[in-house]
Structure formats: structure tokens, C-alpha cells
Amino acid sequence: MPEEGAVAASVDAGIGTVEFHHPKGNSLPGSLLRRIAENVTKLGGDDDARVIVLRSRGERAFCAGASFDELLAIDGLPRGKEFFMGFARLMLAMRNAPKFVVTRVQGKAVGGGVGVVSASDYALAHDSASIKLSELALGIGPFVIGPAVERKIGKAGFTTLAIDADWRDARWAERCGLYTRLYDSHEDLDRSVAETAERLAGFSPEAMAELKRVAWEGTGHWHELLEARAEISGQLVLSAHTRRALENM
């Protein structure tokens, strides 16, 4: 079985924090996706948490995306669809939380990691936080995370990332609107994340909830859309092309 990783959640001075970790570049097996989503949902309903900070451990990769070990272990459509639904449920949990999700992106984000950043309301990043949608090169395609990425950077930006299946630097991501600000040191990044969260924790919870609702207008159909997309990915991951690509990674 793939390694599961770890998730920790806490609330302090109005700031709810969810931190995840996986030894393989903070990649996301299904069990880890589920626990992150559960904690985001829990903090979303906790009146003591007026803002949510999402972060991964360390100063290297923010998130390497889907767990390749788990992708290789998929042996049928039901299991494949369920794996990709993990990303759908996490993004929906971030969308449904009636408070802002601020994400700390300290390093590279790949595939599903880009989807997580895109589902954030506010993302602060280090200069090294390059992004890549590698799914097409694997024979899968970024179907589940596509709506979140497209909402954040537009259809043209999403299509470029998806077709290139290659790295774009943090400056490109900032220009496209994925990142709000960039920092050249992790100390400055952490300081800004803390200051932003503290400032938001002092704002009106009702006003922030209404602003978030307005910002996410037009996404009420996402549950059905992302489930349909998860089925597409769950089918494609079974292909011989994808198996060969994963085995050669």
C-alpha cells in the first residue's frame, strides 16, 4: 500500500491551519486527500476559525500531485473514479467553507497540487513555486482540477498549461492570477501568510462569507461536473499508455 502521509489541524487566535505532509514531495494519496478535505470541512464549520490556512510541511515542494504508487495500484474503473474523486472532494470542501482559504505555496506544485492552489481564495508563494500540469503526458489529462484552474487563470491559461504539460515559473503563475504575491525568501513568505491570516481573522465573518459566496458564483454545478470528470480520469488511468508512462517515472 502507498504511504499515507500525515495531516495536522489546529485553531489559534481565530486562524485555522491545515498542514499536510508526504515523504514523496508532499504527493497526495487518496487517504491523505480525504483527511485534508475532512479537516477543511471541520474548520469551515468551526466558529473559532475565521480564516483557514492551508500549507504543506517543509520548504521544498508544495505538492507533487497524485500519488504515482496509488495510480499504479488502480485496477478498475470504480477504484479509479474514487481516487480522482478525492481531488474533487477537497476542492469542493475548500469552495464550500464559508471563510477564506489562504494557501502557502513554498515550492513547486504539480498536477493536483495546482488544482489545490487554484481552489484557494488567496495564494501566497515563494519565487521557486513553479507549476506544471503533467497529466496529459501521462495519458490522463487534468480533467478534475480543470474547472478550478480555469476559474482562476482563464480558459486560455488552463489550455496552455494542459497542452504544454511542462513547467511554468512562479512569475507566470502570478501574472495569470494563480498567485497573489511572490516572495524571495521563505521567512518573508511565512511572515506574509501570518499577517494576512491575522488581518482576515479580524474582519467580519458574515461579510467574508458573503464575499466568498459572490466570488464562487456559477460553481453550484461543480459536484456533478467533477464527478463526471473523475469518471473520465478513472477510465483513462487504466490505459496501456498511462501504465507505461507511470512505470517509467
- The answer to whether residue 148 scores a pLDDT higher than 80 is yes
pLDDT digits (tens, 9 = 90+) for 151-193: 999 999 999 999 999 999 999 999 999 999 999 999 999 999 9
Rounded average pLDDT over 41-66: 97
- What backbone phi and psi angles, to 5 degrees, belong to 169? -75, 170
- Tell me the pLDDT band of 1, cut-offs 50, 70 and 90: very low
What pLDDT, on a 0 to 100 scale, did the predictor assign at position 248?
A: 84
User: Can you read off the three cell numbers belonging to residue 127?
Assistant: 519565487
- The answer to whether residue 142 scores a pLDDT higher than 50 is yes
**Structural domains in the chain?**
6-201 (3.90.226.10)
Q: What is the mean pLDDT of the chain?
A: 96
| Cα–Cα distance for residue pair 249/149, rounded to 1 Å | 25
| Cα–Cα distance for residue pair 56/27, rounded to 1 Å | 10
- The answer to whether residue 249 scores a pLDDT higher than 90 is no
Asked if residues 84 and 112 have their Cβ atoms less than 8 Å apart, the reply is no
Rounded average pLDDT over 125-132: 98
Asked if residues 53 and 102 have their Cβ atoms less than 8 Å apart, the reply is yes
- The answer to whether residue 4 scores a pLDDT higher than 90 is no
What pLDDT, on a 0 to 100 scale, did the predictor assign at position 230?
A: 97
Predicted structure pTM score? 0.96
For residue 7, the cross-strand partners are: 20
| Cα–Cα distance for residue pair 123/94, rounded to 1 Å | 13
- The answer to whether residue 2 scores a pLDDT higher than 60 is no
